[in-house]
Structure 1
Amino acid sequence: MSLDPVNIIRQPASAKPFVSISPLFTMTSGNNFHGMIAMVTGGGSGIGRAVCQILARDGARVSVCDVNLQAALETVASLEHQGDHVAFYMDVTDKNSVCNALSATQEKLRGTPTLLVNSAGIVQRTRFLEMSEETFMEVIDVNLKGTFLVSQAVCNAMIERDVARKGSVVNIASLAGKNGLAMKSGYAATKGAVMALTKSCAKELAKTGIRVNCVLPGAIRTPMLALSPEEHVKEGLKTNPLGRAGEPEEVAEVVAFLLSGKSSYMSGTDVEVTGGHGF
């Protein structure tokens, strides 16, 4: 099964690569992940790449996993302390692929990830009445099944290696999972399901020490947003109190907070990063 990297809609050959040009956000250190191993799915682009950069900045050794291995390697090349990080191919819809990447991470980084970010995801822009079963199921496989497979494998590994008390999982959902999204009903449905999965896992895993939380981004300047019709983006931002799209780093900082000990009494939460949109 061939899938696009996280946060990239089915991209035409003529599409230009997205480059963030906003000067609004500057990364500054704030968390201590020294000695910890993080696994980030969909780490090859968008929010996933920004999460990898923030975690590396704050001392984590990062396993960058993506169905696009070249993109994952490019992310590693952008990280601080490059020798501490690895890139692996991972198709989150394939259990064997997930387990292979996890085993390789444990071998190369000499330990089990205790920080997990499920950022891999795709979207299909299709009218609900015209959507094929195949299209609907493809989005479910990546966005929901993928989150399930990776979380189950990594959390089991934490428990087996007796490091679960340090465990923290963050799932990337979407404001669409709460409010719905026209023309992207399959995407919205999977993100709502990820929110429910987050709360269920948080309740079950609390006794092991693993915390599970969820982030709901709004309009963020990722390749996915760049491929949306410009007029639709502008129209949507008219109702945004801050009047702009967010930057991937602004989501990544929230993810890092939820992974860190600073959020030690938070589990099963849905944190919106939306510029106030959707109130």
Structure 2
Amino acid sequence: MNQLDLKGRYIAVTGGASGIGEAIVNRLIASGASVIVWDTNQSLVEKLSALHEPHRYAIKMDVTDPQSVQSAMQASLQWIASQSAVHGSGLDGMICSAGITGPNHTVIDYRYDDWKHVFDVNLHGVFLCNQVAAQHMKSRAKGRIVNIASIAGKEGNPNASAYSASKAAVIGLTKSLGKELASSGVTVNCVTPAAVKTPMFSQMSETHIQFMLSKIPMNRFGLVEEIAAMVCWLCTDDASFSTGAVFDLSGGRATY
């Protein structure tokens, strides 16, 4: 594992208690960062809190609820203030990893409530967290925002229209916000993984899983550690000239 330098950084990760988010949290901590896990899973948050780790703080929250996002931000800043001896320390990074796949149905058969729920988590949740992070980071003239999109947002997967469309919207949001903050000292980027084997696979049919595998030239699924490595690099000072950018992690699947 290459060593990245994130010492003294404070970074929030939504969906950070499991899957890709958990791998990102672990890589950030290994790189010297202190991480605030934002997650909706009460039991996982309680388990993390019980560990009393000095560089990991967990907050139960809901990315789809504007008030919950605001409260999580306030709690994060209070924790950072209690931990840091540096006057004026704040949130240095926001990683939006929380997401769901939704059911594997055709557009014709997709229920509106299911469609809306996918968008509430995958897009509106990213918007709310990007917004609150951008407000804070712009005032400090520095920061890193990284959104987890998907290669499905570029290609559009059959029987996964809500997921594909919501991730395409995350790509668009990333590009827009990146341009808005381009001269502020805050960068905004996203990564677009192909399928990565995580607990989210339990939401998919086996047929859909095999379809996704068939589209990857490397003939394997991505590893959560591979996604985490790219995300963590985007949080470093080395990634200073990339903003509004889309980074593929597709095993050769990417078409553009």
- Calculate the TM-score normalised by the size of structure 1: 0.83
> Which letter does structure 1 place at the counterpart of 2:6?
F
Secondary structure in 2 matching 1:169? strand
Q: Residues of 2 paired with 1:249 and 1:76: CA distance?
A: 23
1:265 has 2:241 as partner: yes
1:137 has 2:108 as partner: no
Cα distance change on mapping 1:181 and 1:37 into 2, 3 Å: same
Paired residues of 1:215 and 1:270 also in contact (CA < 8 A): yes
| Identity rate, percent | 38
Secondary structure in 2 matching 1:138? helix
* Aligned position for 1:83: 54
* Aligned position for 2:78: 107
Write the deviation string for residues 184-239 of structure 1: whole angstroms up to 9, x where unpaired.
Answer: 10111110000000000000011211000010010101111255334543343234
Q: Which runs of no fewer than 5 residues in structure 2 stay unpaired?
A: 82-88
- Name the Cα RMSD after superposition: 1.8
Write the deviation string for residues 242-271 of structure 1: whole angstroms up to 9, x where unpaired.
Answer: 111111111010101111112111111111
Paired residues of 2:11 and 2:33 also in contact (CA < 8 A): yes
1:120 to 59, 74, 98: 98
Q: After the TM superposition, which residues 1-279 of structure 1 pair with which residues of structure 2 at under 5 Å, given as runs?
A: 28-74=1-47, 82-110=53-81, 111-125=89-103, 126-160=105-139, 162=140, 164-165=141-142, 167-279=143-255
Q: Which runs of no fewer than 5 residues in structure 1 stay unpaired?
A: 1-27
Q: CA deviation at 1:273?
A: 0.6
Q: CA deviation at 1:157?
A: 1.5
Paired residues of 1:63 and 1:86 also in contact (CA < 8 A): yes
Secondary structure in 2 matching 1:83? coil
Q: CA deviation at 1:106?
A: 0.8
Q: 243-252 or 104-113, which moves further after superposition? A: 104-113
Write the deviation string for residues 3-52 of structure 1: whole angstroms up to 9, x where unpaired.
Answer: xxxxxxxxxxxxxxxxxxxxxxxxx2421111110000011211111110
Q: Residues of 2 paired with 1:253 and 1:72: CA distance?
A: 23
Cα distance change on mapping 1:75 and 1:128 into 2, 3 Å: farther
> Which letter does structure 1 place at the counterpart of 2:19?
G
> Which letter does structure 2 place at the counterpart of 1:118?
C
- Calculate the TM-score normalised by the size of structure 2: 0.90
